[in-house]
Structure 1
């Protein structure tokens, strides 16, 4: 039989995590032959920095995959089998606005949930639909779009409602938890460990089974000990043991904290750099050395500001082909594991391996009493025939109430992102379970739209009215 060779594209290849994907491709080179890897980005500096770095990784590993750097979407996806997306319109500068403006109005300032996360979705969804359109026109029939960009769940819902291509959204959280549980319980046999994941992207819970027995409560305590040693920054992102035992599932942080302790997480996010920077520097010193010892961070800087400072140093190192660049990204940004999640999913589809994942896909009934045509994050069996969600027992009522509300928010936000409807955008915020003030929601939305208008052409008419001091008509 003729050996199968894959054509793979990465859209948003200026991501500092591109080497994470390269590492996984190198690791799987015997079973997943990649003939061409197309790297596309609209930022030539970042594209060349990461592109040349992964070329060196492949050369050092003896890989003969052809790597193509391009700024042209059609060239990138033509005849592809799989396309991975890691795009971020507006980069860290716009992310910082997404994270800071909501605080002024008493709302969570975060890149994946409302209101900042909704604006990020408004910037990202039109670009993702363009990518989907290019895939339909130029890629191979059946090409999958694997999205790693945030807000992943909202993007997946947009792809679900407005395209007919094959897709899956992924977060690294389930991969991190599964790997931790296998390290804790599965040292003799990793197959003894099974982790169920259910919910919506960044609103997910999990149960842990060891040799068929539900060990969730014990697993959470072990996870806290494990993270203290292996990922100390992650330890701060989990709820208290008593709350976890009340739920009966492990709430997968940090995002669940927003839903269970809004005041505490609101305060923590406002003091992000104060709470995290010192520990981050110590962690980097342990794993990478003194590469950021000379950097300073303003008091109470947002996560976006921290990311921007670290990214600048990371790309300076990538440009020099310094291996500390990749280690710096892995040990600070929190995105380690995306490459493993994305490439392992692709491998399961490509090689028919029947593996378990937790992607953002159409529910198809996996959550009882939830619209089967809507996207959720769910444990799924993946093989060459596709992605098959696994049915779950009925979830606790309080979990379902949060899922229902968050999904209505996502549906309205997708409508607004596609149509430019100001009314739908405001209605989405009012529907969001983390927002309890119409006036605050409206004020934050208006300010964000005006500040980020260069990235929101679909809202041109509404923004013009806002700038005149008028109420948008649509």
Structure 2
């Protein structure tokens, strides 16, 4: 086992980086990261400088023998890395704004990972990440790629299908749920067991046990729910929730409460701005804080970002892989035979035992019959969209949109796709390269 690890962070200028830094510093005794390389592109140089200098101050305060490097040279950062993490956003928040606004024009949910907006983020992101994978294959073939670039499940499936890189996808929702349950029941994490079934941003929690006691019926009856800043609050129907027999991810509100969620989006768009515009304001405040030479720790305000705990989840996974901890984490991994109603090579989100050789999916004990159809439909859309991204195919992109449960018709899909592709033209060269 190596006693000096190198970690490369793709998208190192992200506002999440201080949380990642905090986790790496806290766990240094168990996971000795001696080199941390923060990588970004020219457009992100200013943020990289701010975040990188904060990271250096955090290390200096800790007194640990760790070097922090900031670079625009991705290959130099990846060379001989043990772990590569990705937290990138192709087109930055300006592109996310169009992912939200354009679907709304057509009376469709506009969201960065769900529905048409999620597809556009996948189309922009997958080709770039596959280029990154070519570098990893050449320079660090044994490295683990820990991906929490959204849409995490689709991106991870594309990496497994089109590269040889060892990759695991992860999300902040499972760790966020555990923190919420810890607070709700005033209990430590080791007393909590939850079972996840589904896909990234489309999962159901089918077991919630606190110190061995089944708490799921109680949570469903009280309509208790864990949510996040990037999904507006809307109350579940009590009869539906109890009869479902599972705690749905807050992202499932887009499917189960489409009318209410769309109304909330349209009202927000007029009065407070869409989520992209809100996040731009939050990030501006964060980077103002990050610039202070007196700041030497992760600020509390970072929790206002919808992706709070993403970085903590990544460090948890890193430590478990390095130390062969064999603990259970909810991850995005290749299905195999875990969910028998989905293709074996598809990526799903389920509990896994994390070993040094990688995560091993845990057999699920409960899969409500009512969730299988929606899961299969969204997986069909995902697989079409992944191939569309790789091939630059408008035809496959259209099929993906038409077969997404949130898109009402072929006519709407065609009009919306044309507008979305045109808005993101600079980030989608493969879709415009044909005569």
TM-score by length of structure 2 reads 0.94
Q: Which residue of 2 aligns with 1:269?
A: 265
CA shift digits 1:229-252 (9 cap, x unpaired): xx7987826634433212111001
Q: Which residue of 2 aligns with 1:251?
A: 248
Q: Which residue of 2 aligns with 1:35?
A: 34
Residue correspondence of structure 1 range 159-170 to structure 2 within 5 A: 159-170=159-170
Q: Which residue of 1 aligns with 2:22?
A: 23
Residue correspondence of structure 1 range 324-339 to structure 2 within 5 A: 326-327=298-299, 329-339=301-311
Offset at residue 330 of structure 1 (A): 1.9
Q: Is the 8 A contact 1:98 1:116 kept in 2?
A: yes
Q: Is the 8 A contact 1:318 1:325 kept in 2?
A: no
**Cα distance in 1 for residues equivalent to 2:265 and 2:198:** 23
**Cα distance in 1 for residues equivalent to 2:117 and 2:350:** 25
Residue correspondence of structure 1 range 411-450 to structure 2 within 5 A: 411-450=383-422
Q: Which residue of 2 aligns with 1:355?
A: 327
**Cα distance in 2 for residues equivalent to 1:414 and 1:142:** 25
Q: Which residue of 2 aligns with 1:104?
A: 105
Q: Which residue of 2 aligns with 1:92?
A: 93
Q: Which residue of 1 aligns with 2:357?
A: 385
After TM superposition, the structure 1 stretch with the greater mean CA deviation from structure 2, 306-315 or 56-65, is 306-315
**Cα distance in 2 for residues equivalent to 1:176 and 1:55:** 27
| Unaligned segments of structure 1, at least 5 residues | 274-297, 465-474
One of 381, 386, 401 as aligned partner of 2:373: 401
Q: Is the 8 A contact 1:355 1:381 kept in 2?
A: yes
CA shift digits 1:295-337 (9 cap, x unpaired): xxx7241000111122223222222346499536523212111
Q: Are residues 6 and 311 of structure 1, via their aligned partners in 2, closer, same or farther at CA, if it must alter by over 3 Å?
A: same
Q: Which residue of 2 aligns with 1:279?
A: none
Q: Is the 8 A contact 2:341 2:376 kept in 1?
A: no
Q: Is the 8 A contact 1:348 1:383 kept in 2?
A: yes
Q: Are residues 329 and 438 of structure 1, via their aligned partners in 2, closer, same or farther at CA, if it must alter by over 3 Å?
A: farther
After TM superposition, the structure 1 stretch with the greater mean CA deviation from structure 2, 257-266 or 387-396, is 387-396
One of 338, 342, 345 as aligned partner of 1:373: 345
Q: Which residue of 2 aligns with 1:183?
A: 183
Q: Is the 8 A contact 1:238 1:257 kept in 2?
A: no
Q: What's the secondary structure of 1:398's corresponding residue?
A: helix
**Cα distance in 2 for residues equivalent to 1:233 and 1:90:** 19
Q: Which residue of 2 aligns with 1:286?
A: none
Offset at residue 457 of structure 1 (A): 0.6
CA shift digits 1:197-250 (9 cap, x unpaired): 1100100111202343432121356783887xxx79878266344332121110
Q: Is the 8 A contact 1:198 1:377 kept in 2?
A: yes
Q: Which residue of 2 aligns with 1:6?
A: 5
**Cα distance in 2 for residues equivalent to 1:458 and 1:214:** 50
Q: What's the secondary structure of 2:110's corresponding residue?
A: coil
Q: Tell me how large the CA RMSD over aligned residues is.
A: 2.2
Offset at residue 179 of structure 1 (A): 2.1
Q: Is the 8 A contact 2:61 2:296 kept in 1?
A: no
Q: Which residue of 1 aligns with 2:290?
A: 318
| Unaligned segments of structure 2, at least 5 residues | none
Q: Is the 8 A contact 1:148 1:170 kept in 2?
A: yes
Q: Is the 8 A contact 1:180 1:223 kept in 2?
A: no
Q: Is the 8 A contact 1:196 1:208 kept in 2?
A: yes
Offset at residue 436 of structure 1 (A): 2.1
**Cα distance in 2 for residues equivalent to 1:159 and 1:436:** 30
Q: Is the 8 A contact 2:20 2:315 kept in 1?
A: yes
* Corresponding residue pairs, total: 432
Q: Which residue of 1 aligns with 2:45?
A: 44
Residue correspondence of structure 1 range 190-205 to structure 2 within 5 A: 190-205=189-204
CA shift digits 1:264-315 (9 cap, x unpaired): 1111122337xxxxxxxxxxxxxxxxxxxxxxxx724100011112222322
After TM superposition, the structure 1 stretch with the greater mean CA deviation from structure 2, 239-248 or 174-183, is 239-248
Offset at residue 171 of structure 1 (A): 0.8
Q: Which residue of 1 aligns with 2:149?
A: 149
**Cα distance in 1 for residues equivalent to 2:362 and 2:344:** 12
**Cα distance in 2 for residues equivalent to 1:334 and 1:128:** 22
**Cα distance in 2 for residues equivalent to 1:226 and 1:460:** 42
CA shift digits 1:339-385 (9 cap, x unpaired): 11000001000001111111111012221322222100011110212
**Cα distance in 2 for residues equivalent to 1:171 and 1:232:** 14
TM-score by length of structure 1 reads 0.86
Q: Is the 8 A contact 1:270 1:300 kept in 2?
A: no
